Amino acid sequence: MTTSRHQRFIVVFMTLAGLGFIAGVLIFMFFPALKDVNALSQEVIDAQAELEAQYANRKNLLDSITKVSRIRSTTEDLKSQFIKPGDEIVFITRIEEVSAANGVEASIRLSGTAVRGEATVNDVFDIGLVGTYPSVLAALRDIERLPNMTTVVSAIIRSGDIAPETPSIISLNVRGRIALTPEGL
């Protein structure tokens, strides 16, 4: 019976030693592999976060480029509405052309430059239009359609002498401001 006990002891011991050896192999081989898998998993997560950030940055850059293009387009549209300081003759010439085309007498006077802080903002102008009622209104409509940015401060209409069988003559005096090109535009 001692041999059978001894054999059982050897079988149990060998089985436990084999299981211990297998457990040791698993622990020493798979733990480093698991650490590497976890490290690689973290690297993948970090790389994905970095790619998402780069994608967001590129998308913002493309959006910014689109916005800059729109701003440039708007700026170009606005530039035509301003008069460069010293080029007020362009505005005066346009008023004279509109008046002549509508058969209206026009007088134009620039009263001076309005200044806001250190920057020149606009020129103050006075326009006098004299003619028949429909002609003066047509001239005023055409002046409003000019490409320049103007602000009307006041308008005064006066009727002229009414002679029988002649069209009624009116005079329209308009005071306003013409926008000058801002610095840097």
Q: Do 131 and 170 share a domain, yes or no?
A: yes
Whether residues 65 and 113 share a domain: the answer is no
Q: Is residue 105 part of a domain?
A: yes
Q: Identify whether residues 98 and 63 lie together within a single domain.
A: no
Reported as a single tens digit per residue, the pLDDT across 115-166 is 554 445 667 888 999 998 899 999 989 988 888 888 888 888 888 766 666 6
Round to whole Å and give the CA distance between 133 and 151.
Answer: 22
Q: What is the pLDDT of residue 104?
A: 94
CA-derived radius of gyration, the chain: 44
Of 79, 108, 134, at which residue does a domain stop?
79
Give pLDDT, residue 98.
93
Residue 139 lies in a domain: yes
Q: Give the pLDDT of the chain (185 residues) as one tens digit per residue.
A: 567 888 888 888 888 888 888 888 777 777 777 778 788 888 889 999 999 999 999 999 889 888 988 888 887 877 777 777 777 888 888 899 999 999 999 998 887 665 554 445 667 888 999 998 899 999 989 988 888 888 888 888 888 766 666 678 889 998 888 877 776 66
Q: Examine residue 184 and state whether it is found in any structural domain, yes or no.
A: no
pTM to 2 decimals? 0.56
What does the pLDDT read at residue 179?
78
Whether 11 is covered by a domain: the verdict is: yes
66 with 105, same domain: the answer is no
pLDDT of residue 51: 92
Q: Does 10 fall in a domain? A: yes
Owning domain of residue 42 = 1-79
Q: Using CA atoms, how far apart are residues 108 and 6, in angstroms rounded to an integer?
A: 128
Q: In the chain, how many domains are there?
A: 2
Q: Which helix (H) or strand (E) holds 19?
A: helix 2-79
Q: Tell me if 93 is assigned to some domain.
A: yes
Domain endpoint, select from 60, 79, 98: 79
Establish if 92 belongs to a structural domain: yes
Residue 181, by phi and psi: left (phi above 0), alpha (psi -120 to 50) or beta?
A: beta
Domain CATH for 134? 3.30.70.60
Residue 73 and residue 3 share a domain: yes
Q: How far apart are the C-alpha atoms of 71 and 150, rounded to whole Å?
A: 22
- 């606005």: which residue's tokens? 78
Q: Looking at 79, 96, 116, which one is the last position of a domain?
A: 79
